[in-house]
């Protein structure tokens, strides 16, 4: 009887170990740590949210595609107008920032800030500014 109980306990242990999830088959993480350049300089982006000190002004940026080239040129364009600015990233005391500069470029001048990265993935970058402004960029997945 002791042997039967021991065999039963051994079978339970084997069954539980067989059900463990294999971490080697998990999909790779989508979070980007340390740099936004690889994601930002690939493809086109849209403003998913622009909150100007508590006021949602996302509509100002509808129908604009944004591109960020590796040389630091930021372009925002729709079917009738193009705005040119600059961008660069920095790491200040361990805080990743995206600096946008669209000075004298209409609506896009509102985005001229040194944005603190809150959360990022290959398809979305969420940012905030010390003024209370919030900005989310969403990657255009279908073009």
User: Using 50, 70 and 90 to split pLDDT, how confident is the model at 56?
Assistant: very high
Q: What gap in Å lies between CA 83 and CA 120, rounded to an integer?
A: 24
Q: Output the pLDDT for position 94.
A: 83
Q: Which of 40, 49, 64 is nearest to 123 (CA)?
A: 40
User: Using 50, 70 and 90 to split pLDDT, how confident is the model at 44?
Assistant: very high
User: Does position 86 have pLDDT exceeding 60, yes or no?
Assistant: yes
User: Which tokens is 90 given?
Assistant: 């920095």
Place of tokens 């294999």: 22
Looking at domain 37-139, which of 2.40.128.270, 2.120.10.30, 1.10.10.10, 3.40.47.10 is its CATH number?
A: 2.40.128.270
Domain boundaries, the chain: 37-139
User: Which tokens is 115 given?
Assistant: 């944005």
Q: Where are the alpha helices (DSSP H) in the chain?
A: 2-18, 37-40
């Amino acid at each position: 009887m002791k042997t039967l109980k021991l065999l039963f306990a051994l079978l339970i242990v084997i069954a539980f170990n067989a059900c463990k999830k294999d971490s080697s088959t998990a999909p790779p993480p989508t979070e980007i740590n340390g740099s936004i350049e690889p994601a930002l300089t690939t493809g086109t982006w849209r403003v998913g949210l622009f909150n100007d000190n508590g006021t949602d002004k996302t509509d100002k940026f509808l129908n604009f595609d944004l591109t960020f080239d590796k040389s630091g040129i930021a372009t925002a364009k729709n079917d009738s107008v193009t705005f040119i600015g600059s961008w660069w990233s920095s790491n200040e005391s361990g805080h990743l920032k995206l600096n946008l500069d669209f000075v004298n470029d209409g609506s896009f001048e509102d985005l001229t800030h040194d944005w603190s990265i809150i959360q990022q993935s290959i398809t979305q970058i969420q940012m905030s500014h010390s003024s209370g402004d919030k900005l989310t960029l969403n990657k255009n997945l279908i073009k």
